[in-house]
Amino acid sequence: AWYETLSTYLLDNGFQRGKIDNTLFIRRDKVCACARYQVNPKVSHLHAVKRIFRYLKGQPKLGLCYPKDSPFDLVAYTDSDYAWSKLG
């Protein structure tokens, strides 16, 4: 009974059920929220992305989906002086 109450509340407040996992509720107006700021990110956006990755790391059945048609170039940057590394 509590799940039905929760489901009704979430659906009435702008959430949608996940297409693959019906127990997952997604707020569509927040989906891709981090991507909006990728051109001019702030520290708060970096912290949000880190929280997302930490969450995904603890949920082995969840992941990120990249459509086959969309171009995807993964670019990573690092600080060569991270923690005063002697290797850099």
| pLDDT > 70: percent of the chain | 68
For 79-84, what is the mean pLDDT?
60
For 29-43, what is the mean pLDDT?
70
Query: Whole-angstrom Cα distance, residue 85 to residue 88?
Result: 6
Residues of the chain by 3-state class (helix, strand, coil), percent to 5: 35, 5, 55
CA angle 39, 68, 24 (to 5 degrees): 80
For 40-81, the pLDDT digits (tens) are: 788 888 888 888 888 888 888 877 776 777 776 767 766 666
* Residue 1 pLDDT exceeds 70: yes
- Sorted by sequence, the CB contacts under 8 Å of residue 24 that are 6+ apart come out as 17, 18
* Residue 28 pLDDT exceeds 70: no
